[in-house]
């Protein structure tokens, strides 16, 4: 099972990817999470990517493709994977085609989680994450404990630097200009599906399961 979850920042890709991962035992590959790990580990890549990420801009296609090409050769990807937050540009989608050809993967499905822009802004400004394990919290729906300590790992819960409203608007603009064209790209290939991301989390997951099966 090889899936791409497409959708604007805050559409719920990460939440759904984690549910798919739990049920089908295939890894979630989030380029955003891999990059945040590099930033927190202060690797060379992390140092280079940090300011780009803080400004809500995209990290270069070359860096991202190299990272993904390497990750998809890991053992845990043999039964499949869920790509979350990648590809984000047409050159990344074309680069992915080469990677998949080399790995002899032919059954890629692309699922867009569609959410209205104003809902996204509301969701992202109230999103909080654990700085250690990445667990998602939301001030309205799933509030962090009063001491801001993660229930899962004891890490500190923070607001991502790029989840401030001004940066969110920039990220949505970039999504519209650079990532949305992927919808047409995959529609033409005939492996594109869309689900309504404004529904309840469990209902969205059922819709995704119907597509997968």
Active site residues: 13, 88, 127, 160, 171
125 is a site residue for ligand AMP (CB under 6 A) = no
Q: Which listed range, 29-37, 122-130, 135-143, 151-159, lies at the site for ligand AMP (CB under 6 A)?
A: 29-37
Q: Is 45 in the site for ligand AMP (CB under 6 A)?
A: no
C-alpha distances in angstroms, 108 versus 21, 50, 52, 74, 144? Answer: 16, 31, 29, 18, 36
C-beta of 96 vs 206, nearer to ligand AMP? 96
**56 touching ligand AMP, by CB under 6 A:** yes
Residue 5: count other Cβ atoms within 10 Å of its Cβ: 26
DSSP secondary structure letters along 51-83: HHHHTTPPPPHHHHHHHHHHHTTSGGGTT-EEE
Residue 32 CA to its chain's centroid (Å): 6
Calculate Rg over the CA atoms of the chain: 17
* 211 token code pair: 């597509």
Minimum gap (Å) between residue 111 Cβ and ligand AMP: 16
Positions in 159-178 near ligand AMP (CB under 6 A)? 162, 171
CA distance 16 to 22: 10
Q: Does 52 bind ligand AMP (CB under 6 A)?
A: yes
Q: What minimum distance in Å lies between the beta carbon of 69 and ligand AMP?
A: 13
State which of residues 11, 20, 35, 204 lies at the interface with ligand AMP (CB under 6 A).
35
Q: Which residue is nearest to ligand AMP (CB)?
A: 32
Q: Answer yes or no whether residue 9 interacts with ligand AMP by CB under 6 A.
A: yes
Sites of contact with ligand AMP (CB under 6 A): 9, 31-32, 35, 52-53, 56-59, 64, 85-86, 88, 92, 162, 171
């Amino acid at each position: 099972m090889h899936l791409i979850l497409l959708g604007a920042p805050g559409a719920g890709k990460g939440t759904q990817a984690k549910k798919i991962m739990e049920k089908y035992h295939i890894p979630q590959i989030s380029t955003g999470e891999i990059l945040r790990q590099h930033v927190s580990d202060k690797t060379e890549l992390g140092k280079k990517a940090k300011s780009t990420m803080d400004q809500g801009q995209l990290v270069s296609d070359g860096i991202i493709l190299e990272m993904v090409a390497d990750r998809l050769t890991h053992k845990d990807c043999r039964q499949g994977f869920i790509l979350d937050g990648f590809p984000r540009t047409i050159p990344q989608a074309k680069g992915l085609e080469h990677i998949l050809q080399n790995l002899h993967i032919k059954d890629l499905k692309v699922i867009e989680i569609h959410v209205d822009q104003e809902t996204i802004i509301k969701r992202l400004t109230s999103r909080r994450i654990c700085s250690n394990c990445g667990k998602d919290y939301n001030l309205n729906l799933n509030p962090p404990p009063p001491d801001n300590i993660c229930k899962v790992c004891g890490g500190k819960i923070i607001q991502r630097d790029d989840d401030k409203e001004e940066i969110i608007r920039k990220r949505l603009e970039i999504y519209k200009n650079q990532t949305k064209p992927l919808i047409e790209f995959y529609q033409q290939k005939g492996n594109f599906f869309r689900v309504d991301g404004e529904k309840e989390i469990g209902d969205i997951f059922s819709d995704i399961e119907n597509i997968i099966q």
